[in-house]
């Protein structure tokens, strides 16, 4: 399953004795077959800048748009948290890191595997409305998922001063706020979607997304099937319309989708799950397309004829965000958890074990230049960020247009 909204995600750059990495999973893929890789995964999504974060909501202070009061975190020992991440190996890797947090803070953590972000947000919203204990205190949500959680009034808000580690060390765009400047979500991990090719079929890899429109690739491409995780509208807008401004109106969305229609004769595989696409790339069933950078680089290191290239226009940078349910009884512990996982050392460990792109700035971590480039390419400044709010605000409209113009 794909990463948007949480279809199967576990990773790994450097193996670890105490956890199974994404790399181990991929090494076993031939034996498991496609079903073995269909894990509930990360969310998907990339950090959005504060101005893109959406509207104000009722936060920790209980006042819509009010500035959140400071949260004391000095007396959290002996408390507990439920933390949900996407399932499978992704959740297993995160679960293995919680004991260190517990040892330092005295806060015990129960790890929960959540379904897709969209489904999970509905469950969170139902518990908030019913006044029942939330299924998790902290959730990892996709960019689209957190947008819907903000809209639905699901999340606690707090001040930037409550997460000093995140404020000091995270790269730009990984702290989401409401209109009053209160924090609604903090970047947990990220990954890239790049141009991927089979080197036996494509000796010299293209360096621009516009290659997908070239008639020489008729019936040769593999592209993500779902509109809200393919980000092909953003790719098309950046490649042919000079940026995202055209996506500010529904008429502009239709114009972009009309341009994207021109790619359809070149598409051999519209894929939902990672395993299907990886097998198609490995065998040369498809020559070229979009795929996940971390999976591709590991597969290439294991001898598969694959190459990942960061396009000139920018690779898609997608991320997952820590989001705190506003009915949690342990807001102080939850805030401490979010700040802990924003530490550069933690972000570096996640990069080495999961192959994720750190949300911490490169200059704050001990990753070598080679290690960082392996997971982060030219860095987030050169990336294309998903326009998450568009998929939330115009969900039905986009689904209808995508089905009629792209998938029909």
> What is the tens place of the pLDDT at every residue in 376-401?
899 888 999 999 889 989 999 999 99
Burial 183-200 (b: 16+ CB within 10 A, else e): bbbbbbbbbbbbbbbbee
Q: Per-residue pLDDT tens for 28-71?
A: 333 323 222 222 232 333 332 333 333 332 233 333 345 667 88
Compute the average pLDDT of residues 367-381: 90
Q: How do the domains of the chain map onto residue ranges?
A: 50-190+318-377, 193-314+388-407
Residue 57 is classified by DSSP as -
Q: In the chain, pLDDT over 90 holds for what percent of residues?
A: 63
Compute the average pLDDT of residues 119-138: 94
pLDDT for residue 7 is more than 70: no
pLDDT for residue 357 is more than 50: yes
Compute the average pLDDT of residues 194-208: 96
Average pLDDT, the chain: 83
- Phi/psi region, residue 116 (left: phi>0; alpha: psi -120 to 50; beta: rest), is beta
The predicted structure's pLDDT at residue 185 = 97
Give the separation between CA 2 and CA 272, rounded to whole angstroms.
Answer: 5
The predicted structure's pLDDT at residue 61 = 32
3-state class of 302 per DSSP?
coil
Give the separation between CA 282 and CA 406, rounded to whole angstroms.
Answer: 26
Classify domain 50-190+318-377 at the CATH class level.
alpha beta
Q: Per-residue pLDDT tens for 24-37?
A: 433 333 332 322 22
pLDDT for residue 342 is more than 70: yes
The predicted structure's pLDDT at residue 68 = 67
Architecture per CATH, 193-314+388-407: 3-Layer(aba) Sandwich (3.40)
The predicted structure's pLDDT at residue 89 = 62
Q: For the whole model, what pTM was predicted? A: 0.72
- Phi/psi region, residue 153 (left: phi>0; alpha: psi -120 to 50; beta: rest), is left
Give the separation between CA 326 and CA 134, rounded to whole angstroms.
Answer: 9
Closest CA to 304 of 277, 281, 286: 281
Q: In the chain, pLDDT over 70 holds for what percent of residues?
A: 83
Q: What is the CA radius of gyration of the chain?
A: 20
Would you place residue 192 in the very low, low, confident or very high pLDDT band (cuts 50, 70, 90)? Answer: very high
Compute the average pLDDT of residues 174-194: 92
Establish whether domains 50-190+318-377 and 193-314+388-407 are of one fold. Answer: yes
CB-based contact 376:318 (threshold 8 Å) = no
Strand residue runs (E) in 203-331: 221-224, 267-271, 288-292, 306-309, 316-324
The predicted structure's pLDDT at residue 262 = 98
């Amino acid at each position: 399953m794909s990463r948007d909204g949480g279809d199967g995600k576990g990773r790994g750059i450097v193996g670890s004795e105490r956890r199974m990495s994404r790399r181990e999973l991929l090494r076993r893929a031939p034996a498991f077959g496609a079903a073995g890789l269909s894990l509930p995964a990360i969310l998907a999504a990339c950090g959005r800048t504060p101005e893109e974060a959406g509207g104000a909501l009722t936060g920790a202070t209980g006042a819509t748009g009010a500035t959140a009061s400071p949260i004391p975190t000095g007396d959290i020992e002996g408390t507990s948290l439920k933390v949900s991440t996407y399932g499978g190996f992704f959740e297993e890797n995160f679960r293995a890191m919680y004991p260190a947090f517990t040892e330092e803070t005295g806060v015990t953590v129960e790890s929960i595997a959540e379904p897709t972000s969209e489904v999970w947000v509905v469950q969170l919203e139902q518990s908030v409305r019913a006044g029942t204990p939330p299924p998790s205190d902290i959730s990892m949500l996709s960019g689209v998922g957190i947008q819907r959680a903000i809209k639905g009034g699901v999340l606690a808000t707090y001040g930037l001063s409550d997460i000093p580690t995140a404020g000091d060390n995270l790269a730009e765009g990984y702290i989401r706020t409401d209109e009053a400047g209160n924090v609604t979500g903090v970047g947990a991990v990220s990954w890239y979607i790049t141009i991927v090719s089979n080197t036996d079929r494509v000796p010299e890899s293209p360096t621009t997304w516009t290659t997908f429109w070239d008639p020489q690739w008729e019936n040769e491409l593999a592209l993500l099937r779902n509109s809200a995780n393919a980000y092909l509208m953003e790719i098309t807008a950046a490649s042919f319309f000079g940026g995202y401004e055209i996506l500010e109106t529904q008429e502009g969305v239709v114009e972009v989708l009309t341009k994207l229609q021109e790619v359809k004769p070149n598409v051999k595989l519209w894929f939902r799950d990672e395993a299907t696409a990886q097998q198609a790339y490995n065998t040369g069933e498809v020559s070229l397309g979009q795929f996940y950078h971390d999976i591709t680089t590991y597969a290439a290191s294991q001898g598969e004829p694959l190459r990942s290239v960061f396009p000139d226009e920018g690779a898609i940078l997608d991320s997952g965000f820590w989001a705190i349910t506003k009915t949690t009884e342990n807001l102080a512990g939850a805030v401490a958890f979010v700040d802990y996982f924003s530490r550069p050392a933690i972000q570096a460990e996640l990069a080495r074990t999961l192959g994720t792109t750190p949300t911490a700035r490169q200059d704050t971590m001990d990753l070598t230049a080679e290690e960082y480039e392996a997971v982060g390419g030219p860095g987030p400044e050169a990336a294309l960020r998903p326009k998450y709010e568009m998929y939330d605000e115009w969900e039905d409209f986009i689904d209808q247009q995508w089905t009629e113009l792209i998938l029909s």
